[in-house]
């Protein structure tokens, strides 16, 4: 009972409370909560409640999915490390080097369409893994906090990527701010060619990664030893598991997921090598996704869709005159509530008790 | 749980009802021009590109009495991948004109043009896209920067200095025009002048701007011209601090009249010598006017010195009469074609008067 | 005499399990009343009901003759019922007084905490009951025994006069246990009533007046301690006659299985903790390693299992040098290890029981093939071990290990390690904190392994256990071997002298 509560009810409670708070803040600041509702519904279903005659605009649904794709991947990244007792806050850096590796392969290798794209993704995952291995090694063998190293490596990744792109890749002379476009062979095509949304075949990468995550964690001996390490490093060591190797491997796989996110975004949306002027924050959002998703497979997928929706809703919220900061406020509230889960358990328990008492009273009343 | 379902149902019904009887949100009045403005991550109040073009659009809106939130609105992008969804949304809303400022939007605009060939779109600072209803506004930044160069060169000469500086936010073809014009301008009046150059590689990092400015001033630069957006705010700040401490240095602003940004002491003086004004507001305003009059054309429009697209500010309290006179002379020469300003800057390798790797 | 507490015909149901079945507990005022039962007998449940943590399904509770409804711990506190938990609930870096007043701080007129007033009260109480606690000492600086007294003071400070002690001696040294008994008697003299939850018969004999026995949730009976022998109480608790002496035949040691040669091991501080230590353990014998805590036992065990680097010397297993092998290969070459700390080292508490059973062999067939787990094989194996070793767990093999009782957790470890059927069984503190039934069971299992021809190295701090089980006894003092004798040739006194390093007797039992 309590176990179930900690997994599901808290997340649900946090999500509902976060969204409700959004409505309240919108109302207090003198804007229309109704408009916010309309914006959210439209972002999710493509249906505009104020103009039912327009019917359903699939673009919005597809954009929601598009926004969700990298979030699930970075969520898996954070979740995987978390299951081994590590906090991978370096998803952003791994995402960036993933994007970089995909760009390098896209621009320098010549292959037929499908192998080329697959090679790009594989390269991205390898790069992400490599980027995560260093903090993993330092953590495993020198007990240096992976958090600090990861944060530093995020910045290194960004500037390193920019340097590589400028120095080694062919820059687009019209803007000097990106590489030339990828060849047709590299990149994910749109699933629905006639729709303006960039929703692309990269979603297959997401599906595969979700399955890998689930399979590795739940079904393999490797996942077993990772989970043991995550719960109790010492017991795992006593049982003869290679704790250090597990930590490094877990970081590598975690990084590979983040790297895949980099590939999916750059091959699906941009289709050219980027020079980053700011971080995309997918890596950081992955922390929220993993946290709210309780690091288990269905949880991460659902949380990915939730945060994807809140991200995708930016457009519609603004269109209906709701500031986009509301979306961030809701995200922050949800994370906050999940983080203070013990407080929520207490609250829910109290609520349950009161409800029970209420039921007893009703029964007594009925008996009369 | 049941309760929740009930509440949701009631809410849905209420919404449907409101939708049926209300529905005045959004929508574009037949007679009025409607438009949508998409900004990059910087937002509408970035004190730069987005802000200026938004002001131009707003000026038009105020003139014809459009209501913000109904007839026109803006969508701020949260990340680069938001560009296409935001543009698409406006296209779906069937606004009369979509405006986007900056070459960062180029790919997203091209995609939108392909998806919505009938949609009228204005993009500023890009001239290489294709679309029947796409207007691309570009500026002769080199011409405006030439005038800044003239002012900077003469100011240095008057103080007996022979070093000036240039700080760029990021390298690109557009940014090259600033540097080329500046070089031509400086060397037109002060051929012996050295130009220090630095690349901040970032349009949004004032700290970087400040430290690069400090480096150039310490290396002897007398005037620095920045073409670095938000990063340039740090350059201006460094100049203002140095002037407040009694040092004799200057800075030149970009895009808008940045005189106010460089104020120091009691606020009566500014470290900003002059600014290269790029009238993106004019581009936005003109495009909307054209839409209203039905004369909007999908082509590349060049806003140059002659057309008032680039200029120095009307008021230049820090420039002497002589320098202003010289600026006027050169303006005339450029306008009548006597001087042709370069669009590609000299590198260190090509000209020893340039100091600093590209 | 009047009853302080009467719990009449209490029944408590949890989903799928009846934790208390018609239990009656009557505690007379100013007595020590013991509540005896094995782990899982329902002692904690009935106490939680009394303390207001659970509501009984059926039954009534009377306090001082008046029927009460204890709906939460606050009500219990108001009724003067206080509980000293087995695991102390103290803030380490607070002082004694700060800990005692936590939650009901006295205020000065400026609304600041009146520490002086509180400290004075603590001091008075400490004197009155002979507790001898310094009100200004920090918790982290005082001994475990003292910390327990702080817990007692906490209740006294809250004017409790019915005190529940939950397994109070589990964490104490013999000296501290002795002192605690004195304190309990003082408390009774001062008018308090004590309810003592325990499974240690010696203590009941020493301090309790009456004793109620529970078994598997059922009420067995209440006896006057003075008229009842330890054996009788044990029989009531376990449901059959219990032997305290481990019955075993003469050992028939054969080949040397473990050969420790001139071992030197450093501790975490980098100091030599095991010095030039040599010892041989043969198949078919139990060799007990006695010693006072902290004399190098832990480091020796770590060195044998590969958890710590060996400075110099060799470890041979069946003649094969394993000195440099990693942990996994050592375990696989024939070492089973029941570690000292089952929570930290023996189990992954958040794993399900079945997962803990395969903690070593999860990657081997039939539990896995080509790196993919075989849940069916794992579950079958878990069912087998649960049945064979009588591991009690609420949801069978799917039980989260953390929710199991200490005795059953230890049984699970023993099951796992014994079932691996290694040549060497390295058992460290196998029965710490367990009840009689579990101890008896585990001891008999260890002897069984010996009789199967395994070599057993038993490391324990409890001399009774060493004396009961071992065929030969080695003593470690300050990292050195200070004694090696046959069990039959020695006594407690001699071992004590060797443990303290007063005498050295090596070689007598070295074959």
pLDDT digits (tens, 9 = 90+) for C170-216: 666 666 788 889 999 999 998 999 999 887 788 899 899 999 999 88
The encoded tokens of residue C304 equal 């044998």
Verify that B56 and B122 share a domain, yes or no: yes
pLDDT tens, residue by residue, C217-251: 899 999 999 999 888 888 888 887 766 677 788 88
Q: What is the pLDDT of residue B344?
A: 93
Q: What is the pLDDT of residue C173?
A: 65
A333 in a structural domain:
no
- Is residue B99 within 8 A of residue B91, CB to CB? The reply is no
Q: What average pLDDT does range A279-301 have in this prediction?
A: 92
Highest mean pLDDT range out of B228-232, C392-396, C453-457? C453-457
Interface test with A, best of C359, C413, C416 (most A CBs within 10 A): C359
B122 in a structural domain:
yes
- Is residue B83 within 8 A of residue B77, CB to CB? The reply is yes
Cβ contact A220–C355 (<8 Å): no
Q: What is the pLDDT of residue C510?
A: 61
Verify that B210 and B319 share a domain, yes or no: yes
Q: What is the pLDDT of residue A362?
A: 38
Verify that B152 and B125 share a domain, yes or no: no
Measure in Å the smallest separation between the Cα of C326 and chain A Cα atoms.
8
A71 in a structural domain:
yes
Q: What is the pLDDT of residue C279?
A: 93
- Is residue A69 within 8 A of residue A233, CB to CB? The reply is no
pLDDT tens, residue by residue, A9-41: 788 888 999 999 999 999 999 899 999 999 999
Measure in Å the smallest separation between the Cα of C384 and chain A Cα atoms.
21
Confidence class for position B18, pLDDT limits 50, 70, 90: very low
Measure in Å the smallest separation between the Cα of A195 and chain B Cα atoms.
8
Nearest to A235 among C346, C362, C363 (CB): C346
Q: Whole-angstrom Cα distance, residue A246 to residue A239?
A: 13
Number of residues that make up chain C: 511
Q: At residue A364, does pLDDT exceed 60? A: no
Nearest 5°: phi and psi at C279?
-165, 145
Verify that B134 and B165 share a domain, yes or no: no
| Residues in A touching B41 (Cβ below 8 Å) | 278
Q: What is the pLDDT of residue C130?
A: 83
A158 in a structural domain:
yes
| Residue where the block lists tokens 């590198």 | B347
Measure in Å the smallest separation between the Cα of A338 and chain C Cα atoms.
20
Confidence class for position A5, pLDDT limits 50, 70, 90: low
B149 in a structural domain:
yes
What's the CATH number where B262 sits? 3.40.50.2300
Nearest to A219 among C307, C355, C372 (CB): C372
Closest by CA to C377, choosing from C392, C394, C397, is C397
Q: Whole-angstrom Cα distance, residue C357 to residue C388?
A: 13
Verify that B155 and B219 share a domain, yes or no: yes
| Residues in B touching A34 (Cβ below 8 Å) | 15, 18
Q: What is the pLDDT of residue B23?
A: 40
Domain count, chain B: 2
Q: What is the pLDDT of residue A3?
A: 47
| Residue where the block lists tokens 């697959």 | A118
Task: Mark C384-418 as b/e (b = at least 16 C-beta within 10 Å).
Answer: ebbeebebbbbeebebbbeebbbbbbbbbbbbbbb
Q: Is C362 on the interface with A (CB under 8 A)?
A: yes
Residue B250 sits in which domain range? 141-277+310-355
Q: Is A356 on the interface with C (CB under 8 A)?
A: no
Interface test with B, best of A12, A20, A50 (most B CBs within 10 A): A50
Q: Is A221 on the interface with C (CB under 8 A)?
A: yes
Closest by CA to A180, choosing from A103, A112, A124, A121, is A103
Average pLDDT, chain C: 88
A335 in a structural domain:
no
A240 in a structural domain:
yes
Verify that B190 and B131 share a domain, yes or no: no
pLDDT tens, residue by residue, C33-74: 999 987 678 888 898 899 888 889 999 999 998 999 998 888
B6 in a structural domain:
no
Q: What is the pLDDT of residue A357?
A: 52
Q: What is the pLDDT of residue C508?
A: 61
Report the range of poorest mean pLDDT among A198-202, A244-248, A255-259, A331-335: A331-335
Confidence class for position A170, pLDDT limits 50, 70, 90: very high
Closest by CA to C459, choosing from C329, C339, C356, C358, is C339
Nearest to B103 among A175, A275, A278 (CB): A175
The encoded tokens of residue C44 equal 């904690």
Q: At residue B214, does pLDDT exceed 70? A: yes
Measure in Å the smallest separation between the Cα of A228 and chain C Cα atoms.
6
Does C contact B via 3+ CB–CB distances below 8 Å? no
DSSP string, C190-229: TT-EEEEEE--HHHHHHH-SEEEEEETTEEEEEEEGGGS-
Measure in Å the smallest separation between the Cα of A239 and chain C Cα atoms.
5
Confidence class for position C150, pLDDT limits 50, 70, 90: very high
Residue A90 sits in which domain range? 65-304
Q: Is the dihedral of CA B98, B104, B108, B114 positive or negative?
A: positive
Domain count, chain A: 1
pLDDT tens, residue by residue, B106-125: 999 999 999 999 999 999 98
B253 in a structural domain:
yes
Q: Whole-angstrom Cα distance, residue A367 to residue A25?
A: 45
Cβ contact A175–B22 (<8 Å): no
A28 in a structural domain:
no
Q: Is C370 on the interface with A (CB under 8 A)?
A: no
Verify that B156 and B262 share a domain, yes or no: yes
Q: At residue A348, does pLDDT exceed 80? A: no
More confident site: A4 or C232: C232
| Residues in A touching B170 (Cβ below 8 Å) | 176-177, 275, 277
pLDDT tens, residue by residue, B231-251: 999 999 999 999 999 999 999
| Residues in A touching C340 (Cβ below 8 Å) | none
pLDDT tens, residue by residue, B47-80: 778 888 999 999 999 999 999 988 999 999 888 8
Verify that B251 and B267 share a domain, yes or no: yes
Measure in Å the smallest separation between the Cα of C43 and chain A Cα atoms.
22
Report the Cα C443 to chain-centroid distance in Å. Answer: 15
More confident site: B14 or A197: A197
Q: Is C416 on the interface with A (CB under 8 A)?
A: no
- Is residue A72 within 8 A of residue A301, CB to CB? The reply is yes
CB interface of A with C, residues 161-220, below 8 Å: 219-220
Q: Is the dihedral of CA A94, A97, A102, A105 positive or negative?
A: negative
Verify that B79 and B178 share a domain, yes or no: no
Q: What average pLDDT does range A68-96 have in this prediction?
A: 95
Highest mean pLDDT range out of B14-28, B186-200, C90-104, C418-432? B186-200
Q: Whole-angstrom Cα distance, residue C321 to residue A188?
A: 57
Contacts of residue C108, defined as CB under 8 A and 6 or more positions apart, other chains included, come to: C114
Verify that B185 and B115 share a domain, yes or no: no
Confidence class for position C438, pLDDT limits 50, 70, 90: confident
B331 in a structural domain:
yes
Highest mean pLDDT range out of A124-138, B189-203, C338-352? A124-138
B329 in a structural domain:
yes
A133 in a structural domain:
yes
More confident site: B315 or B45: B315
| Residues in C touching A221 (Cβ below 8 Å) | 362-363, 368, 371-373
Q: What is the pLDDT of residue C511?
A: 53
A172 in a structural domain:
yes
Q: What is the pLDDT of residue C394?
A: 78
Domains and CATH numbers, chain C: 3-238 (3.40.50.300), 243-334+423-433+452-511 (3.40.50.300), 341-421 (no CATH)
| Residues in A touching B201 (Cβ below 8 Å) | 162
Q: At residue C509, does pLDDT exceed 70? A: no
What percent of chain C shows pLDDT beyond 90?
Answer: 41
Q: At residue A327, does pLDDT exceed 50? A: yes
Q: Whole-angstrom Cα distance, residue C164 to residue C51?
A: 9
Q: Whole-angstrom Cα distance, residue A103 to residue A110?
A: 13
Last residue of a domain, one of B122, B139, B156: B139
Q: Whole-angstrom Cα distance, residue A181 to residue C137?
A: 71
Q: What is the pLDDT of residue A355?
A: 60
Nearest to C363 among A3, A219, A221 (CB): A221
Confidence class for position B35, pLDDT limits 50, 70, 90: very high
Which whole-number Å values give the CA distances from C491 to C111, C487, C488, C509, in the listed order?
Answer: 63, 8, 8, 15
B160 in a structural domain:
yes
Verify that B60 and B173 share a domain, yes or no: no
Q: At residue B353, does pLDDT exceed 70? A: yes
Highest mean pLDDT range out of B181-195, C191-205, C290-304, C385-399? B181-195
pLDDT tens, residue by residue, A188-208: 999 999 899 999 999 999 999
Last residue of a domain, one of B139, B159, B192: B139
The residues with which B225 forms a beta bridge, in sequence order, are: B166, B252
Verify that B106 and B231 share a domain, yes or no: no
Report the range of poorest mean pLDDT among A127-131, B139-143, C88-92: C88-92
Confidence class for position B220, pLDDT limits 50, 70, 90: very high
Q: For the sheet containing C335-338, what is the strand order?
A: C335-338, C424-428, C455-459, C286-290, C472-477, C480-486
Last residue of a domain, one of B108, B139, B170: B139
B293 in a structural domain:
no
Nearest to A50 among B22, B80, B204 (CB): B22
């Amino acid at each position: 009972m309590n176990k179930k509560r900690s997994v599901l009810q808290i997340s649900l409670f946090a999500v509902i409370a976060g969204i409700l708070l959004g409505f309240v803040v919108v109302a207090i600041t003198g804007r229309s909560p109704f408009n916010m509702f309309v914006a959210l519904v439209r972002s999710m279903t493509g249906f505009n409640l104020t103009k039912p005659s327009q019917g359903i605009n699939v673009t919005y649904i597809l954009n929601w999915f598009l926004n969700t794709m990298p979030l699930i991947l970075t969520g898996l990244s954070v979740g995987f490390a978390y299951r081994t007792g590590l906090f991978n806050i370096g998803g952003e850096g791994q995402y960036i080097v993933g994007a970089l590796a995909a760009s390098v392969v896209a621009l320098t290798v010549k292959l037929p369409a499908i192998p080329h794209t697959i090679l790009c993704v594989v390269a991205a995952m390898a790069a992400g893994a490599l980027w995560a291995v260093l903090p993993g090694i330092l953590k495993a063998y020198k007990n240096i906090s992976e958090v600090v190293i990861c944060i530093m490596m995020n910045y290194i990744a960004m500037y390193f990527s920019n340097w590589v792109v400028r120095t080694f890749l062919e820059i687009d002379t019209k803007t000097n701010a990106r590489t030339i476009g990828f060849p047709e062979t590299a990149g994910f095509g749109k699933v629905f060619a006639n729709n303006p949304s960039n929703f692309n075949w990269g979603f297959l990468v997401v599906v595969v990664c979700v399955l890998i995550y689930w399979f590795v964690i739940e079904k393999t001996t490797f996942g077993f030893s990772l989970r043991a390490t995550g719960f109790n490093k010492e017991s795992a060591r006593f049982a003869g598991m290679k704790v250090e190797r597990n930590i490094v491997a877990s970081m590598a796989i975690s990084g590979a997921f983040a790297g895949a996110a980099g590939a999916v975004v750059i091959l699906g949306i941009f289709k050219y090598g980027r020079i980053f002027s700011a971080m995309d924050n997918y890596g950081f959002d992955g922390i929220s996704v993993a946290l709210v998703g309780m690091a288990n497979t269905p949880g991460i997928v659902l949380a990915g869709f939730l945060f994807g929706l809140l991200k995708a809703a930016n457009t519609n919220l603004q269109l209906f005159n709701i500031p986009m900061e509301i979306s961030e406020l809701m995200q922050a509230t949800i994370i906050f509530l999940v983080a203070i889960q013990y407080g929520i358990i207490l609250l829910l328990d109290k609520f349950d008790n009161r409800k029970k008492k209420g039921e007893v009273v009703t029964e007594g009343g009925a008996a009369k | 749980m049941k309760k929740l379902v009930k509440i949701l149902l009631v809410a849905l019904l209420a919404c449907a009802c409101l939708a049926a009887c209300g529905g005045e949100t959004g929508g574009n009045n037949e007679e009025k021009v409607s438009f949508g403005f998409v900004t990059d991550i910087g937002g509408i109040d970035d004190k730069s590109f987005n802000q200026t073009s938004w002001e131009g659009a707003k000026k038009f809106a105020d003139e014809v009495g459009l209501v913000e939130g109904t007839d026109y609105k803006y969508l701020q992008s949260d990340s680069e991948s938001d560009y296409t969804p935001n543009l698409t949304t406006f296209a779906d809303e069937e606004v009369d004109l979509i405006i986007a400022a900056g070459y960062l939007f180029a790919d997203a605009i091209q995609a939108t043009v392909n998806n919505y060939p009938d949609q009228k779109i204005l993009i500023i600072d890009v001239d290489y896209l294709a679309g029947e209803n796409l207007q691309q506004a570009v500026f002769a930044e080199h011409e405006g920067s030439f005038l800044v160069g003239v002012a900077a060169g003469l100011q240095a000469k008057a103080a007996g200095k022979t070093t000036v500086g240039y700080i760029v936010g990021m390298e690109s073809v557009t940014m090259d025009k600033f540097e080329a014009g500046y070089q031509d301008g400086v060397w037109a009046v002060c051929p012996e002048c050295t130009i220090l150059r630095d690349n901040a590689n970032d349009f949004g990092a004032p700290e970087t701007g400040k430290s690069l400015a400090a480096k150039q001033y310490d290396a002897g630069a007398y005037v620095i011209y920045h073409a670095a957006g938000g990063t340039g705010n740090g350059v201006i700040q460094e100049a203002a601090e140095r002037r407040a401490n009694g040092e004799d240095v200057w800075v030149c602003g970009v895009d808008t009249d940045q005189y106010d940004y460089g104020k120091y002491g009691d606020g009566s003086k500014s470290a900003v010598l002059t600014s290269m004004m790029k009238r993106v507001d004019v581009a936005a305003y003109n495009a909307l006017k054209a839409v209203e009059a039905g004369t909007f054309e999908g082509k590349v429009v060049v806003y140059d010195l002659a057309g008032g697209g680039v200029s120095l500010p009307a008021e230049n309290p820090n420039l002497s009469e002589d320098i202003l006179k010289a600026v006027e002379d050169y303006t005339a020469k450029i306008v009548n074609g006597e001087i042709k300003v370069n669009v590609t800057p000299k590198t260190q390798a090509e000209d020893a008067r340039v100091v600093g790797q590209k | 005499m009047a009853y302080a507490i009467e719990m009449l015909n209490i029944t408590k149901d949890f989903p799928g399990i009846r934790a208390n079945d018609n239990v009656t507990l009557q505690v007379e005022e100013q007595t020590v009343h013991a509540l005896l039962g094995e782990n899982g007998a329902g002692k904690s449940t009935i106490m939680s009901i009394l303390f207001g943590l659970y509501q009984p399904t059926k039954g009534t509770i009377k306090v001082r003759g008046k029927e009460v409804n204890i709906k939460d711990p606050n009500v219990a506190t108001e009724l003067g019922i206080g509980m000293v938990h087995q695991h102390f609930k103290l803030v380490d870096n607070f002082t004694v007084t700060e800990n005692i007043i936590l939650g009901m701080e006295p205020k000065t007129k400026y609304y600041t905490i009146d520490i002086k007033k509180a400290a004075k009260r603590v001091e008075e109480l400490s004197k009155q009951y002979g507790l001898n606690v310094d009100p200004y000492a920090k918790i982290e600086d005082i001994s475990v025994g003292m910390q327990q007294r702080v817990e007692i003071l906490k209740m006294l400070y809250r004017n409790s006069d019915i005190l529940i002690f939950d397994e109070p001696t589990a964490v104490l040294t013999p000296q501290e246990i002795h002192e605690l008994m004195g304190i309990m008697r003082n408390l009774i003299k001062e008018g308090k009533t004590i309810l003592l939850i325990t499974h240690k018969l010696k203590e009941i004999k020493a301090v309790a007046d009456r004793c109620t026995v529970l078994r598997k949730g059922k009420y067995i009976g209440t006896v006057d301690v003075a008229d009842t022998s330890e054996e009788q109480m044990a029989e009531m608790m376990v449901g059959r006659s219990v032997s305290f002496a481990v019955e075993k035949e003469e050992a028939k040691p054969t080949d040397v299985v473990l050969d420790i040669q001139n071992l030197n091991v450093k501790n975490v501080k980098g100091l030599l903790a095991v010095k030039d230590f040599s010892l041989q353990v043969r198949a078919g014998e139990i060799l007990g390693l006695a010693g006072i805590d902290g004399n190098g036992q832990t480091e020796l065990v770590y060195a044998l299992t590969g958890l710590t680097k060996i400075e110099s010397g060799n470890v041979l297993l069946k003649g094969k040098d394993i000195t440099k092998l990693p942990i996994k290969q050592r375990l696989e070459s024939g070492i089973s290890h029941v570690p000292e700390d089952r929570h930290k080292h023996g189990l992954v508490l958040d794993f399900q029981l079945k997962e803990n059973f395969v903690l070593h062999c999860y990657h081997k067939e039939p539990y896995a093939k080509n790196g993919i787990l075989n849940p069916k094989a794992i579950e079958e194996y878990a069912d087998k071990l649960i049945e064979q070793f009588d591991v009690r767990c609420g949801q069978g093999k799917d039980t989260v290990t953390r929710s199991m009782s200490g005795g059953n957790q230890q049984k699970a470890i023993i099951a796992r390690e014994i079932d691996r059927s290694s040549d060497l069984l390295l058992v460290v503190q196998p029965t710490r904190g367990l009840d009689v039934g579990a101890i008896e069971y585990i001891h008999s299992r260890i002897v069984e392994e010996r009789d199967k021809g395994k070599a057993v190295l038993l490391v324990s701090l409890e001399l009774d256990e060493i004396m009961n089980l071992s065929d030969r006894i080695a003593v470690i003092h300050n990292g050195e071997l200070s004694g090696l004798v046959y069990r039959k040739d020695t006594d407690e006194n001699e071992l004590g002298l060797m443990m303290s390093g007063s005498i050295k007797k090596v070689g007598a039992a070295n074959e």
